[in-house]
Chains A and B, each alone.
Chain A
């Protein structure tokens, strides 16, 4: 009983450790990457005993700054909802990662431990449910601030979320049809198969259109540039205009965590999750016949490492997009969601169905 509880705790703790630390690191990545892309030096002044470490201490300095700032609340604000909103926002972003697998089932001392925080048969629906609930934090923040600009920001967030969510749900249908499961672990395992004996059946190869649609709609759902009209910090005013201190920081953190969730989900659905091509439970088995035997623990470590590397690469690409494209206008984003992404997703479902029938799939 105690061991079971310990294992369950360990799985959740590992996931939280990973997500929270990467989220903190993303603040630094975002600044440094934009600096490199724009030929600047970027934040590098925070130092401990003269050690600057490429500005790596800036997330720490930012956190200390936010924690010690004045926590202001507007006089006419709805007190309870105003205080609750950032917590709702960050909570749903953090729990969304729970059913994303970061490794295959680990067999140790007669136990089998699936390397994901929570094993759910409807894992992928769970992630969407949590992501879609996150918008309430934003709407509550916009409404409870007693500020019309914040209210408009909250409404933009709601409208954007609904149009993005439908496209997300429709775009992943193809992946689900191929693997016949909503369990993310099963979907990742299915991508370990080889097409024609040599090509890994990763989602990006079997569902290229769905990948583009999913990432586009996913960026919209996480409210990042070029879909950041709910915030619009540079000229239009967003939902968190009345927030200060760490509560404002929590909204920023939500964005980072949602980016990680989006990257983890894209990795699991389209980039083979923890799969490494030709790596099976007992080592590498290449299609040309070569075999490299590896102990199970090494295989697991390689797989977890592969998952994290893939997530890092996807985050890098998302950040590239963020610093490349200008913001869409509100009506452009709506048109893209309803007249672009959604019909294409439906077309992708029909196409996938036809191919699966022609292929003689079940």
Chain B
């Protein structure tokens, strides 16, 4: 049962990822990315990480992707990309690099694969995540907030200069 669900969701994740890079229509690609994020959230849920799954859907699928789709709708409404590919060289380079990444992943996963975890997995509750964030991972956590602040100041600067 758990295995079947895992393979269905995994197939959905891979299929939507392929849809994202193969569709010429930007909106379709963005919608495929949303399906992909949802499938990843479902995988988190199967691993017992309920909070991570909910956060993934709210933050990525619910907020960031709304902005993405919004931007695409404003900038390129309804047009498909056509004509010669301006970055053909870079795209050909992607094939060997992608193959290398795939090989690496296979090696890493093959060493540790143990199948979908059962109910005995460590807790992914909000309390557990919060405790880890504010004890063992406090420094990277605070560093992230500085990074976000820098990004925000940068955006404000750009917006002010335009106006």
Contacts and interface: CB of A to CB of B under 8 A. Distances in A.
B12 interface: no
Contacts of B67: 158, 162
A132 B63 contact: yes
Q: How large is the interface on B (under 10, 10 to 19, 20 to 34, 35 or more residues)?
A: 20 to 34
Contacts of B126: 121-122, 182
B73 A129 contact: no
Given A140-B31, A165-B62, A129 B69 contact: no
B66 A126 contact: no
A122 B66 contact: no
Interface in A77-132: 78, 81, 120-122, 125-126, 128-129, 132
Contacts of B78: 78, 143, 146
Interface string A180-202: 00100000000000000000000
B62 A159 contact: no
Given A139-B66, A162-B67, A133 B61 contact: yes
A154 B73 contact: yes
Judged by DSSP, the binding face of A is: helix
A81 B28 CA distance: 9
Contacts of A133: 57, 61-62
Given A133-B57, A162-B67, A139 B50 contact: no
A151 B54 contact: no
A122 B74 contact: no
Interface string B5-45: 00000000000000000000101100100100000000000
Which secondary structure characterizes the binding site on chain B? helix
Nearest to A166: B63
Contact of A136 (B34, B51, B74): B34
Contacts of B27: 78, 81, 143
Given A81-B31, A129-B58, A132-B57, 8 more contacts: A78-B25, A122-B53, A125-B51, A129-B57, A132-B66, A139-B69, A142-B73, A155-B74
For the complex of A and B, 9 pairs with smallest distance between CB atoms = A132-B62, A125-B54, A129-B57, A122-B54, A158-B70, A122-B50, A129-B58, A121-B50, A158-B66
Interface of A: 78, 81, 120-122, 125-126, 128-129, 132-133, 135-136, 139-140, 142-143, 146, 148, 151, 154-155, 158-159, 161-162, 165, 169, 182
21 contacts: A78-B25, A78-B78, A81-B27, A121-B51, A122-B51, A122-B53, A122-B126, A125-B58, A126-B54, A128-B62, A129-B61, A133-B61, A135-B66, A136-B31, A139-B69, A139-B70, A139-B73, A143-B69, A143-B73, A158-B67, A165-B63
